[in-house]
Structure 1
């Protein structure tokens, strides 16, 4: 298949010529530890996105949602994300084993700025730490420990442009994608009909969140 992109930039200088350089505030806002502000932000965040890649550079971004306070801050350089039950693809965990570099975005509902953290991750099984992350009386089997290297606030422009917190901008419910239909078409197997997948998803969401 021919590449449809005809004007590809291949150097930072070319990009800088068009977009310019960051302001002094942007250059100086990065800190190297979890200060009181970062800790407070994390304690209020029920949703994060974890970016990983393997040793070949193949990438994955995984949403992680839980009650606020579920991510544990150990000290000013370390935090732990609980590994709750999922689909067992373990994309993030496999990537961390081969390439520990991770990027995280923490989100607080209604707040348009986000907290970004970059660092080095580890798959951990420290029982004392996992005990702190029990939910519904269930302890996570594993956790993702992160050694923090960079923390900074990301501006609100993406959320302002998207209007994601403004309910008037949301699509009508009857126009939303039908997930069981999509999955059935993608799997393309008579074994996994729309109804089979719908029931399986419902059971998973009701019985296997923790």
Structure 2
């Protein structure tokens, strides 16, 4: 499925806002060091103008999508909330640029916190920057982030290896269960065959026993008849 163009533009706009926040921090650092920030200020104002255009583009595109029912009302509300957050961030950047807003170091911390909202009462976009990164240069911050990413990649590789081993164990257990099921099926067939033979032998024994009983009865009857005849004839001869 092709990515949604609106969401792609939103991602670009969000990253643009982060870039402006970082450049505002650089501008304030130049001011603290007594350097001329004119060039970076021009760049920031150009990026802010581009940010405004992107937000307007997102707003117009969302309006068309909702009016033509290309997206659901629920999705439209969700995207409107994203635009509102961008507008809030844009106003905060403007305030920081004019030195009327919060400390630029606080704006810079949003780059480290991923732009979390609802944390600060005055500036809901940012978090307080950790003490261990507050005095680091941009290059040192970048190196630290790269080390963190490398550590995360190593952790993910280790996790991937563990999952791979568990997957192989799952396959082995499945194969073992299949073999055990085959053995159980063979035993069940053997038991069924043995039970059938036992039932046949039982029927044959009963049949033989029945015939034996009938034969014995006839022998007794014959003997009884002989005895009767002998008793009947014996007095006559006497």
Q: TM-score range by the shorter chain?
A: under 0.3
TM-score, normalised to structure 1, is 0.20
State the structure with bigger RCO (CA 8 A, min sep 6), 1 or 2: 1
Q: Of Structure 1 and Structure 2, which has the larger fraction of its residues in helix?
A: 2
Structure of higher CA gyration radius:
2
